[in-house]
A and B are shown apart, each in its own frame.
Chain A
Amino acid sequence: MPSNISEPHQVIIGEDEKYVVNMGPQHPSTHGVLRFELTIKGETIVNLVPHCGYIHRGIEKMCESNTYQQIIHLTDRLDYMSAHQNNEAVSLCVEKALGVEVPERAKVVRTILSELSRLSSHLLWWAAFGMDLGALTSFFYAMRDREEILDIFEENTGGRLIQSYICPGGLMYDIQPNFAQRVKDLLAYLRKKLPEYDRLLTGNVIFLNRTQGIGRMSKEMAIDYAVTGPAGRGSGFSCDVRRYEPYSAYDRVEFKEILYTEGDTFARYKVRMDEMWESMKIIDQLIDQIPDGPHTAKMKPVIKLPAGEYYQRVETAKGELGIYIISDGEKNPLRFRLRTPCFSNLFVIDKLAVGTKIADLIAIFGSLDLVIPDIDR
């Protein structure tokens, strides 16, 4: 056979060939509408570019033409897992600007609701994280238990996901008489169920292989990229706002800030699992001591903040949420800035995922616990 005949029909994919593929915008593991532009070589990720903005609603612009009571209903829609905490952040900022003292009853109920939100958010994260890694059972377990928390929200606030319950001055309306008893029953129930979660996932060999040593983030990197919340604390970055700038009733409860120093996907997993126990501990300390009295302070029907700048941060389930209001003395803010936790937590992902396999990207993304409306706003 002559050697100069080429073989045009045979396509050989060389080792250097790179492909550019899209992951998303509609992809089950991106937890919403987010698109990754992946450059891959075989299964290995060479480059990753996140594209967001698919559900950008312009909440910051809308806030500029709304009053402070109306803004509460917009901030619900940021990170809809932490609606109570988002509302609390706006309320605290407005109260700080006006110098309003919130009644003790409202402070304690706010703290309990915040911790219940954190539990519900972490349960949903655990459900989705297990499902991302192929363990479908975790989804059913955690969704079943999260339902109990949402029932309490529904009975007391009228909403399951979007509550708009914490408002400037205190609470929209008083809690139901059986609130304390229901929360106590819930904690007893969860204390039985959470060890089951550990038995299902935490010690599983396949799970450990998928998470340990994957997506390592150093503490310096977390600070540099402003990664806060459980994602930052998995890298040993002590960033719990409840600890260093206590608000509501956090100054009178005992709790531990969970820190892990490994910085891998498993460390971020462990932080959230331990935080659920800490949240229950915080609720335990407060639930028997809800003071009597009014549920809200007296507020004027039209709130006008004195001219100036106000910044308030709270610890939501995902990380540090900052509310930055610039007011000119009118009933609308001049500038309403939302420093949302997921925004800065997302953009570290290209540093974590480059060099890993596509399946690892799913695990890393799940461990950062991102909610896309919180990024796009």
Chain B
Amino acid sequence: MDNQALQTLLSEILPDTEIIQGGQFVEINLDPTHLHEVLTILKNNDQCSFNFLFCETGIDLNGKLGVVYHLRSIELGHSCVCRVFTESRENPVLDSVADLWSAALFYEREIFDLFGIKFNNHPDLRRLFLEDDFVGHPLRKDFEDPINIIRK
């Protein structure tokens, strides 16, 4: 299915969601309150069946924290990108999708570690790379490290 047809299909399935034609993929901008609901539809609907979460990325864009999901359907061969931003920067919370794709278990631990986004209903939300008493979240744009100066 090409991107144009996928966009038409997704607009029918998700009438209230913003779906745009990106450069490479069809992009879906999600509302954090309906995140889990919409992604469940994307995974379980027979016409989309996005069963392969191949990349989950934490982002810090324009002062807002968020997560990008790259999804692909193995049987149907099409891909899409979902993007969601948290409501606040001080206490960023999103729903976990680890019950839909097990790969998210560890992607979300990494994002929690490096961006500080908390995931509701995640079974084991601990830091993945850094030690437990590390202060701060290094991939945020406002992170400052007095010892290793990494700003340009």
- Of the A-B pairs whose beta carbons lie under 8 Å apart in the complex, a sample of 6, sorted by A's number, is A52-B128, A61-B150, A225-B103, A226-B101, A310-B23, A326-B59
Is the C-beta of A293 less than 8 angstroms from some C-beta in chain B? no
Given known A61-B138, A326-B61, A335-B59, contact A226–B54 (CB-CB < 8 A): yes
A65 engages B130 (CB within 8 Å): no
Identify which of residues 71-113 in chain B touch chain A, using a CB-to-CB cut-off of 8 Å: 74, 77, 81, 101-103, 105-106
Do the beta carbons of B105 and A347 come within 8 Å of each other?
Answer: yes
By a CB distance below 8 angstroms, the chain B residues around A237 are 74
A56 to B106, CA, bound (A): 15
Mask: chain B, 125-148; 1 = CB below 8 Å from A; 0 = not:
001111100000011000000000
B70 part of interface (Cβ distance < 8 Å): yes
Whether the Cβ atoms of B23 and A226 lie closer than 8 Å is no
A-side contacts of B24, CB under 8 Å: 309-311
Chain B neighbourhood of A65, CB < 8 A: 150-152
A337 to nearest B CB, angstroms? 5
Is the CB of A322 closer than 8 A to any CB of chain B? yes
**Interface size (A, Cβ < 8 Å)?**
34
User: In this assembly, does A158 line the interface, its C-beta being within 8 Å of a C-beta of chain B?
Assistant: no
Inter-chain residue pair count (beta carbon < 8 A): 80
Is A322 touching B55 in the complex (CB atoms < 8 A)? yes
Contact across chains for B128 and A60 when beta carbons are under 8 A apart: no
Question: Which 6 A-B pairs give the minimum distances between C-beta atoms?
Answer: A53-B129, A226-B103, A56-B129, A339-B55, A337-B57, A65-B152
Query: Interface size (B, Cβ < 8 Å)?
Result: 34
Compute how far the CA of A343 lies from the CA of B108 in the bound complex, rounded to whole angstroms. Answer: 12
Task: Collect the chain B residues with CB atoms within 8 Å of residue A332's CB.
Answer: 152
Report if A53-B70 is in contact (Cβ < 8 Å); known contacts: A324-B55, A339-B54: no
- A16 in the interface, Cβ–Cβ < 8 Å? no
Are A52's CB and B60's CB within 8 A? Answer: no
B residues touching A (Cβ–Cβ < 8 Å)? 22-25, 51-55, 57, 59-61, 68, 70, 74, 77, 81, 101-103, 105-106, 114, 127-131, 138-139, 150-152
Any B CB within 8 A of the CB of A376? yes
Q: How distant is the Cα of A308 from the Cα of B20 in the complex, in angstroms? A: 14
Q: Closest Cβ of chain B: how far from A227's Cβ, in Å?
A: 9
Nearest-Cβ distance from residue A98 to partner chain B, whole angstroms: 13
Q: Output the nearest chain B residue to A57 by Cβ-Cβ distance.
A: B129
Docked Cα-Cα span, A224 to B43, in Å, equals 11
A226–B53 touching, CB < 8 Å = yes
> Does A20 touch B at the CB level, under 8 Å?
no
Residues of chain A lying within 8 A (CB to CB) of residue B150: 58, 61-62, 65
A72-B147 Cα distance, complex, nearest whole Å: 25
Contact (A335, B61) CB under 8 Å given A53-B129, A58-B138: yes
CB pair A311–B25 under 8 Å, yes or no, is: yes
Q: Which residue of B lies closest to A328 (CB)?
A: B61
By a CB distance below 8 angstroms, the chain A residues around B106 are 343-344, 347
Asked whether, in the complex, the Cβ of B70 is within 8 Å of the Cβ of A324, the reply is: yes
CB-defined contacts of A334 to chain B, threshold 8 Å: 61
Say yes or no: A223 contacts B51, CB within 8 Å.
yes
Q: Min CB distance, A89 to chain B, in Å?
A: 13
Q: Assess whether A225 is in contact with B22, with CB atoms less than 8 Å apart.
A: no
Smallest CB gap from B127: residue in A:
A53
Tell me which residues across on chain B come within 8 A of A322, comparing CB atoms.
Answer: 54-55, 70
Please tell me if the beta carbons of A311 and B102 are within 8 angstroms of each other in the complex. Answer: no
Chain A residues with CB under 8 Å of B68's CB are: 324
